[in-house]
Amino acid sequence: MEALVASAVAVMTAAGVYLILRRQTFPVVLGTAMLSYAVNVFLFATGRLVVNLPPVLADTATGYTDPLPQALVLTAIVISFGMTAVVVLMALGAFIASGNDDIDLGEGRE
């Protein structure tokens, strides 16, 4: 399981980094979303990976999983979701204002 989660984080991060280095805005936005998925899974795993254990106190529990990373992930998901919405809108605004979705400022060509 550890290998599976670790490689999932790695593949998503690699895809995110590749996309974020593209020239068009659209792949860059996808890249930031991909990176945020990767970091969410990573954060989830920082409390160590366990199976079928409750995060809160229970009489029948034989052990517990760390509840804090789950709370952190929730916060991180909300923030990254909002950020993705903001960047999509701004990219759309820039696309409409300038007519193409190149990420650079085009300073050299003007």
Partner 1 sequence: MNHWIIAPVVLPALLAPLLVLLARHDLRAQRLLSGAGTVLFAALAGVLLAQSSSGEIGVYRLGNWPAPFGIALVVDRLAALMLGLTAALALAVLAHVLGTGWDARGRHFHALFQFQLMGLAGAFLTGDAFNLFVFFEVMLIASYGLMIHGGGRARLRAGVQYVVMNLAGSVLFLFALGTIYAVTGTLNMADLAVRAAAIPASDAALLRVGAVLLLLVFAIKAALVPLQFWLPATYANAPGPVAALFAILTKVGVYAILRLFTLGFGPSSAASDIGGTLLLPAAGVTLLIGMTGVLGARDLGRMAAFSVIGSIGTMMLGVAVFTPAATGAALFYLIHSTLVAGALFLTADLVRGQRGSLSLAPGPRFASHGLLAAVFFVVAIGVAGMPPLPGFLGKLMILDAVRAVPGGWAIWAAILIGSLMAVAGLARAGAAVFWETTPEEAAAPSQPLALAGVAGLLTVLVGLSLAAGPVSAWLNAAAASLYAPAPYIAAVLAGGAG
Q: What are phi and psi of 102, to 5 degrees?
A: -65, 145
Q: Does 70 bind partner 1 (CB under 8 A)?
A: no
Q: How many residues interact with partner 1 (rule CB under 8 A)? A: 37
Q: What are phi and psi of 24, to 5 degrees?
A: -90, 150
For the CB of residue 28, give the shortest distance to partner 1 in the complex, in Å: 6
24 SS3 class: strand
Q: Does 19 bind partner 1 (CB under 8 A)?
A: no
Q: Does 1 bind partner 1 (CB under 8 A)?
A: no
Q: Which two tokens stand for residue 18?
A: 């590749």
Read off the DSSP letter of residue 99.
S
CB burial readout 91-107, b (16+ within 10 A) else e: beeeeeeeeebebeeee
Q: Does 87 bind partner 1 (CB under 8 A)?
A: yes
Residues near partner 1, by CB under 8 A: 16, 20, 25, 28-29, 32, 35-36, 38-39, 42-43, 45-48, 68-69, 72, 75-76, 79-80, 82-83, 86-87, 90-91, 93-94, 97-98, 103-106
